[in-house]
Every structure is written in C-alpha cells, then in structure tokens.
Amino acid sequence: MRELGEVEKQTYTAGGMCVDGKIDVLRGWIAASDNIVFFGGAGVSTESGIPDFRSVDGLYNQQWDYPPETILSRTFFDRNPEEYYRFHHAKLVVDGVKPNRAHLRLAGLEREGKLKAVITQNIDGLHQAAGSKNVLELHGSILRAYCTKCRAPYPAERMNHCEGVPHCDVCGGIVRPDIVLYEEPLDQRVMERALDYIQNAEVLIIGGTSLGVYPAAGLIHYYRGSKLALVNLSETPYDRYADLVIHEKIGEVFSQV
C-alpha cells in the first residue's frame, strides 16, 4: 500500500480517468481499509424515491409557496404549523420507500468490520432500515416525534399519517418531529462523535450531498487522511479538496465496490 501521489490525485479529480477506473480506485481503498467512514446526504436516498433539495427534480424546483428551508425553519413551524405539516405529509413522508444499493452496501461494509460509522444529514431512517447499526443522524429523524409542550414521546407513525397538525395525548400540545429545523442547533454530542470518527478515519467517503448545509458540511474539514472520495451526481464546492471525485449515481457506484 502507498499514499496517493500528487500526479495521480490530479488525474483522479480532473476527470482524466474514466468512471470505471475511478470506481476501481475506490474499490481498492475499501478493500485495503478497516477504518472507513461515510458522510452522506439527501442524494443517498433519491434512488429510493425520496427527492433531495437541490437536484433539478428536487424540492427546490417544485411548486410550493415557500422554499423548503423556510418551511423547515423553527420560526415557520411555530407560526404556521398547519402549513409545515402540509409540507411534511406531502413531501417528507414518502410511503413504501426501501433502502437502495448504497444503503445496503454500506450496511454490508459495517457487518464486514470495514465501516466504522455512517454520518448522515438525512432524516428518513433508511440506513437503519438497511441494517446499519452505527448511524449518526446529524439532523434527527422523522421516525421519532415528541410534544413541544411537555416533551412526551408521540408515535411517529401517527404524526406522519395524521390529518393536519398532531396534538399530544397527554397535554394537547403541538407534536413535532425529532428533526433539527433550520435556526436550531445540532445535537452537540452527535456532532462530537461525528467529528471524532472523521478525524480518525483512514478512508472518508462523502456521497449524495451538495455540501451546502452548515455546520454539517464543515465537519469534513476535520478529515486528516489522504483518501477522501466524493461521490455525487453534481459538482460540489469541495470537489477540489477530494482525492477522488466520482460524478455518478451513488447506488451505481456502491453496487460495484
């Protein structure tokens, strides 16, 4: 094994190598390491049928009265829970979704003892559905819910499939999903664990994220190794920092590594 040379690095990232060649490189990194960490976002779940935010068919490009970032903000939720839940039921809850090839392969790599953690910005629970155990949910999950007033837990299934705004059985307060809304801080303990995994990873695979949402995206600055692979359909602001950039569907890539 050896470190990636500067010339090779330029070739991998500048598009001088075909996609198959790049996938071969990633397969080699994965085969040789038992300290891999994955950091992902909404693009990991698009092949399961859940739209992301920023793709051409993502939520930003659909007709809606407000942009997703506004609807998914704390101010909006507090002022207009009816409209929040209209969006939640129509767009965040997608029935019948199943993990795709990326989720399944990541779960397999964990079982093989190669992958240490999945760090995700997603709120859909699909990594756990695929069998991944060590999943750090930076933005929470719509598969958990609680009362905003007395904080009693509430069945997520009921929240996700009710008419209008769900109310607490205990005190009548408004129920909310256990997700991090815009304007809210991330869970510090989850952030610290994510940071620790990234700092100590040998191979960091970043996939299906535009890397535009902070502070989550800022975590990748803490990676200290020389095997940073970025698998994303579109370009990201971090492409030039990666050692390997693959602009391809993530399910397609993970079915080959």
Active-site residue list: 139
Closest CB to ligand CNA among residues 121, 160 = 121
Angle at 216 between CA 86 and CA 175, to 5 degrees: 30
Q: Is 76 in the site for ligand CNA (CB under 6 A)?
A: no
Whole-number minimum distance, CB 142 to ligand CNA, in Å?
Answer: 8
Whole-number minimum distance, CB 139 to ligand CNA, in Å?
Answer: 4
Closest CB to ligand CNA among residues 168, 186 = 186
Q: Is 131 in the site for ligand CNA (CB under 6 A)?
A: no
Which residues 45-64 are close enough to bind ligand CNA by CB under 6 A? Answer: 45-47, 50, 52-55, 58
Which residues 106-125 are close enough to bind ligand CNA by CB under 6 A? Answer: 121-124
Q: Is 43 in the site for ligand CNA (CB under 6 A)?
A: yes
CA distance 178 to 206: 24
Q: Is 67 in the site for ligand CNA (CB under 6 A)?
A: no
Closest CB to ligand CNA among residues 88, 139 = 139
Binding mask 221-250 for ligand CNA (x = CB under 6 A): -----------xxx--------------xx
Q: Which residues lie near ligand CNA (CB under 6 A)?
A: 41-43, 45-47, 50, 52-55, 58, 121-124, 139, 208-210, 212-213, 232-234, 249-250
